[in-house]
A and B are shown apart, each in its own frame.
Chain A
Amino acid sequence: MFVLLKGLRHARREIALSVPAARGSLALRHVDAGSCNGCEHELAAAANPYYDLQRHGLNIVASPRHADVLLVTGPITTRMVQPLLIAYEAMPEPRLTAALGDCAVGCAALVGEQAQLAGPLERVLPVDLRIPGCPPNPEQIAAALLDLMREAKQRVRADRSRSWSPQPRHPAAKA
């Protein structure tokens, strides 16, 4: 146990994330809509001792009910559209959606007009944040999410008098 903890302390000394920690927090819920697993690996890696997303208030949560942001990976297969929409509907307002990786953003080289695909994400849900890369590395993921957190905070502050809703709802989201 001692060796384990010492190793972790060592890793933490080399923390790669240069972004200054912002105050606040975002709860993230990830949905894989047909990725190659690369984006998942990098998102999970963002929680490893080198990047330690949690330190910045970014937590990956188990239920969409607890989430502020829906992080979607993959080119959105037809079979994942329904589960994705159900997860989105389960989230409390205000809610944000992020496309993680080129596939979800819609600029991946391989994602053509296959009949099995309904994506990219913007065809299915309103997209608030795009994190390009194939896959984006943990640093880019963390930096993009921290920017989103800052921006969301400003918007909330500006809209404090009204009840805040980020975007007009996309028709597909009601389906």
Chain B
Amino acid sequence: MSVHGREIVRALSPARILVVAPERWRAECELHAQEGWRFCGLFATSGAQQPRVSCVLARGGREHVLSTSVPTGILDTLVDLFEASAVDEREAHDVYGVRFHGHEPLRPLLEHPSDPAAWTVPVQGHDPYQVAVGPIHAGVIESGHFRFTVVGERILNLDLRLFYKHRGLQTAAEGRRLADGLAYAARACAACSVTNAVAYAQACESALALAPDRNLRRARTLLLELERLYNHLNDISAICAGVGFAPGSMAFAALKERAQRLNQRLTGHRFLFGAVAVASSELRIGHVDARAARHELRSIGDGTRSLWRELRFAASVQDRLGGVGCLTRDDALRLGVVGPSARASGIEKDTRSESPRLAYGEFAPVSVARASGDVAARFDVRGLELEQTLALLDDLLDGNLTTGAVKSLGGADCELGVSRVESPRGETLCAVQHHGGSVVRLHLRTGSYANWPAVACAARENLLPDFPLINKSFELCYACADR
């Protein structure tokens, strides 16, 4: 095997699974934290006799999965090492009954107790009062509940209560064949359907020691970027709507419509449903269609650029974006924020640059000139990334595309596969545990799941009427988090 070939095999090798004793759990995680490993997700499984807890950590494109059994039902918490694990630990408690020593109070996440004191953070001070919003919002939006503690118009604290849309998709996938489980990951969310499906497929392939061939890589990368295109156009439209600028909102909604019609033409579905499969790709695009698609994408690109310029000079829009909903770099790092929101706060990380199973080549994340972490910066990131996506799509559609397949890496099967994929909202982690080709456990930790705490953090100290705008600048999915 050539040197280059060996490198690819190493890059594609599955995550290392380190089984640790329960009493060593925290120490091992702490060691990883000191060595600069980044927290990517924590999940529990029911296990044969006792629950197990696993934590996925990443550094420079490599993943480690620390896994331990929990014979006593209690495990040391990781929240002081990785604050991002707070939500994961709450979920592990609510679904699998694992308690976490030192995580106090362990507020319910999936359970919805009627007493607000059970799930909100107490706020002291002079005359604070609460404003409850949702789960049904005014407008065509998903369901979720926000509880603001405010003084006058100023938000002192925001408590989120999600999981109104919890459909039990992860547990419903259990016991199904690996190929059939994909639908549950894909249908968790329409707007991130490709990302979730690709993450699931790659996790399966990594567990089965399979490597995608060139066509498969190209097809998946193409689908991921088509998804990003219509999502980013939608997000810009949403931010315009958030400041009440209807012409901008409608113009970008029209561009999104064009992008979705292109999706329909290329894959037969406006949301690209059904285009991803485990270990294969049926996507075929002939020369003529590819050329037509490139042409349409260039025209969408021209439209985007001229509209973007208009927005830049629309003073009434720009005036509303600066200094609102600031998320500092430190907060973003502390909370483990991912995706465009993290890049807007000055964290130049993008999982696309460490995705050897996809066709991104030498990918470099965008850097924002003014990474101020406010709505304006998140707005700018979307604009820059649209350019990047359009350029990638132009490349990917150069020439025809035929069906893709996998080849064996020659390694042994592994019970657990993990995979990370950059969705339009940030890194999505998918872990698939299987036994003899049937799903034992599916865990999906999407970019939205990771970023919801950041919305609460960014809203603090802002005015209540600015919240819809702040929320829209993150534009997270509820469906992705609730599953």
Contact = CB atoms under 8 A, between A and B. Distances in A.
A39 B256 CA distance: 15
Contacts of A37: 142, 189-191, 477-479
B254 A50 contact: yes
B352 to A, nearest CB: 23
A36 B172 contact: no
Interface stretch (B8-16, B151-159, B180-188): B180-188
Given A41-B271, A79-B112, A110-B169, A36 B253 contact: no
A143 interface: no
Interface in B326-357: none
Interface in B111-148: 112, 135-136, 138-143
B106 interface: no
A41 B164 contact: no
A30 B167 contact: no
Interface of A: 1, 3-5, 7-8, 11, 30-45, 47-50, 60, 62-63, 74-75, 77, 79-80, 83, 87, 109-112, 114-117, 134-135, 137
Contacts of A62: 138-139
Contact of A3 (B138, B234, B310): B310
Given A8-B250, A37-B189, A37-B191, 18 more contacts: A3-B306, A3-B309, A3-B310, A34-B164, A40-B140, A41-B191, A44-B253, A45-B256, A49-B250, A50-B254, A63-B138, A79-B164, A83-B135, A83-B143, A110-B169, A112-B172, A116-B166, A135-B190
B314 interface: yes
21 contacts: A1-B310, A4-B251, A4-B310, A7-B307, A30-B140, A32-B142, A33-B143, A34-B166, A34-B167, A36-B189, A36-B479, A37-B191, A40-B140, A44-B253, A45-B253, A48-B253, A49-B250, A50-B254, A77-B165, A110-B169, A135-B271
Contact of B254 (A39, A49, A77, A79): A49
Contacts of B247: 1, 4-5, 8
Pick from A11, A36, A38, A77 the residue with the most CB of B within 10 Å. A36
B171 interface: yes
A117 to B, nearest CB: 6
Contacts of A134: 273
B140 A77 contact: no
Contacts of A50: 254, 257
A19 B163 CA distance: 38
Contacts of A40: 140-142
A8 B250 CA distance: 7
B404 interface: no
Given A36-B479, A40-B140, A83-B143, A75 B167 contact: yes
A4 B254 contact: no
B270 interface: yes
B204 to A, nearest CB: 18
A7 B165 contact: no
A105 to B, nearest CB: 15
Contacts of B477: 37
A45 B253 CA distance: 7
B447 interface: no
Contacts of A63: 138
Nearest to B139: A62
A32 B253 CA distance: 21
Interface string B313-328: 0100000000000000
A43 B191 CA distance: 14
Contacts of A8: 247, 250-251, 254
A77 B189 contact: no
B257 A45 contact: yes
Of all A-B residue pairs in the complex, the 4 with the closest CB atoms, nearest first, are: A38-B190, A62-B138, A116-B168, A48-B253
B24 to A, nearest CB: 35
B140 A60 contact: yes
A73 to B, nearest CB: 9
Given A7-B307, A33-B143, A114 B172 contact: yes
Contact of A110 (B183, B193, B250, B253): B183
Contacts of A44: 140, 253
Contacts of A1: 247, 310, 314
B303 interface: yes
Contacts of A32: 136, 141-143, 165
